Amino acid sequence: MNGNEFIKRAKRYGRARSLAVEYEGRKGKGSHGRLYVGKNFTTMKDPRKEIGPGLFAAMLRQLKIDPEEF
C-alpha cells in the first residue's frame, strides 16, 4: 500500500465514524506531511511511496486505529 491509498482508507474510516480527517502536505521535513484522524495524527512520508508493514502498524498505533477495522 502506498501513502495515497492509506490516506483514502483513513478518510473512509473517518467518514464511517464521523471523525475529521485531514492531510497537510509539507508539514514535516522534505516530502513528509501530517495525517490527522480526529485528535490523533501521524507523520507520513511521501504519499507516492510504498508503506512497509512495520511503518503501517506504527501509523495505525499513532492514530489509535484497530488494524482489523482499517
Q: What is the pTM of this model?
A: 0.89
CATH number of 3-62: 3.30.920
- Give the Cα separation of 25 and 31 in Å (integer): 8
pLDDT at 36: 96
Give the number of other CB atoms < 10 A from CB of residue 33. Answer: 19
pLDDT bin (cut points 50, 70, 90) of residue 28 is low
pLDDT at 27: 67
Tens digit of each residue's pLDDT (9 = 90 or more) over 50-63 = 999 999 999 999 99
SS3 60: helix
- Counting residues of the chain whose pLDDT is more than 90, the rounded percentage is 83
